[in-house]
Amino acid sequence: MSLLLKMLAQRIALGLLLLFLVSILIFGGTLILPGDVAQSILGQSATPEALANLREELGLNEPAVGRYFDWLGGLLQGDLGTSLTSGQDIASAIGKRLGNTFFLAFWAALISVPLAILLGLIAVRYRERWPDKLISAVTLASISVPEFLIAYVAIFFVSVRLRWAPSVTTINDSMSLGEKLHTISLPITVLTLVVLAHMMRMTRAAILNVMQSAYVETAELKGLRMFTIIWKHALPNAVAPVVNVVMLNMAYLVVGVVVIEVVFTYPGMGQYLVDHVSKRDLPVVQACGLIFAGVYIGLNLVADIVSIISNPRLRHPK
């Protein structure tokens, strides 16, 4: 057991180190971006004195290293700073939107992950026959079309023609869960289509790989049904690669959702980030960047940990 714990502790420590390095990268990256916050706040016609005053006020003249450690110290206490343009506390502004993004990602994942694995299993069961080919064709087609195009096509047919679901997906606290889910049904569908192919193909490949092994032959010679063999003998040994790709796609559901949020005007992190990039509001961009990085690293960490735990040799040492 100690080896397992040691490996897990190592992974977590590496994840934290990575997050720290990313914070340096994000801070440094935003420093070298062209443009100037003061300029964008005051506009082209601002006088040099006004610009200088505003820069002084915003603390933009301090040395970068000092500002980085101020920023990092604040982060560790949960203080993401204040927005340069609106003067609001970033943490409270983000909190709500992050919740919305997670809400959308959670429901998209809840549908897409089991669906992808189920489709992968079916594809294995009927490999090289028409169900396999149909599943592959449909999922590959849906991943190949840009997501905004799928989104607009879906809006046109489902919202405009059929009037089944709204195209503007603004949700708020006064709505019941059912109302919320109905409101976001279109973005969920589009996101599912986008992430399905990747996970389904990986499940199929990983299980087919395991299906070559001698213990699957043993299971066949025990007279078990094909689906029992896939479910009980193949899937448990294909967990590691499948979890990895599932986590990558879940990270995408949080981090890569920008386009979908903009198309559906969903009040999530993506919209918020895009707004503030265009305003050159660096603290907000940095905070969003760091949160996205944190989610990405966190989910990949989960994948690593699940892979380690799924190895029976580590879980049950001699």
Partner 1 sequence: MSEKLLKVRDLKIGATVYPPGEKPHDIEIVHGVSFELAKGQVLGLIGESGAGKSTIGLASMAYGRGGVQITGGEVWVNGRDILKTSQGDVRNLRGGEVTYVSQSAAASFNPAKKIMDQVIEAAVGQGKFSKRDAEARAVELFGKLGLPDPENIGNRYPHQVSGGQLQRCMTALALCPEPDLVVFDEPTTALDVTTQIDVLMAIKEAIRDTGVAALYITHDLAVVAQVSDDILVLKMGDMVEYGSVDQIINNPQEDYTKALVSVRSIDHAEKAPTPEPVLKVENITARYKGTNFDVLKNINVELHPGQTLAVVGESGSGKSTLARVITGLLPQSRGNIHFAGRDLSPSLDGRSREDLRELQMIYQMADVAMNPRQTVGTIIGRPLEFYFGLKGAEKRKRVVELLDEIEMGESFIDRYPAELSGGQKQRVCIARALAAKPKMIICDEVTSALDPLVADGILKLLLDLQKVEDVAYLFITHDLATVKAIADSISVMYQGEVVRYGGKTDVLSPPFDDYTDLLLSSVPEMKLGWLEEVIANRKMESAGN
> Which residues of the chain form contacts with partner 1 (CB under 8 A)?
213-215, 217-225, 228, 232-233, 236-237, 310, 312-313, 316, 318
- Residue 203 CB, shortest distance to partner 1, in Å, is 16
| 3-state secondary structure at position 89 | strand
**Among the listed residues 124, 135, 264, the one whose alpha carbon sits nearest the alpha carbon of residue 203:** 124
The least CB distance from residue 314 to partner 1, in Å, is: 10
Q: Among residues 170 and 218, whose Cβ is nearest to partner 1?
A: 218
154: its two tokens: 């879906």
Going by the DSSP 8-state scheme, the letter that residue 316 receives in this structure is S
State in angstroms the smallest separation of the CB of 310 from partner 1.
Answer: 8
Phi, psi of 89 (to 5 degrees): -70, 125
Nearer to partner 1, 161 or 316 (CB): 316
Which one-letter DSSP state was computed for residue 318?
A: -
Nearer residue to partner 1 within complex by CB, 129 or 225: 225
Smallest distance, partner 1 to C-beta of residue 233, A: 5
* Matching residue, tokens 């997670």: 102
Place of tokens 């440094």: 28
Three state DSSP letters for 162-180: CCCCCCCCCCCCCCCHHHH
Neighbours of 255 (CB within 10 A): 20
- Which residue, 169 or 307, has its beta carbon nearer to partner 1? 307
Phi, psi dihedrals of residue 12, rounded to the nearest 5°: -65, -40
Q: How far is the CB of 264 from partner 1 (least distance, A)?
A: 42
What is the sign of the dihedral through the CA atoms of 202, 205, 211 and 212? negative
- Rounded Cα distance, 169 and 157, in Å: 16
**Of 252, 239, 234, which is closest to residue 306 (Cα–Cα)?**
239
CB of 267 to partner 1, least distance (A): 44
Our CB check for partner 1 shows the closer of 133 and 232 to be 232
Q: How far is the CB of 4 from partner 1 (least distance, A)?
A: 14
140 or 314, CB closer to partner 1?
314
User: Among residues 144 and 212, whose Cβ is nearest to partner 1?
Assistant: 212
Nearer Cβ to partner 1, position 22 or 219?
219
- From 151, 112, 183, select the one nearest 260 (Cα to Cα): 151
Q: What type of residue sits at position 124? A: V
Q: How far apart are CA 247 and CA 249, in angstroms?
A: 5
Least separation in angstroms between CB 136 and partner 1: 23
Other CB atoms within a 10 A radius of the CB of residue 161 amount to 9
Instruction: Give the span between the Cα atoms of 91 and 262, in whole angstroms.
Output: 21
Provide the minimum distance between the beta carbon of 249 and partner 1 in the complex, in angstroms, as a whole number.
24
> Which CB sits closer to partner 1, 218 or 265?
218
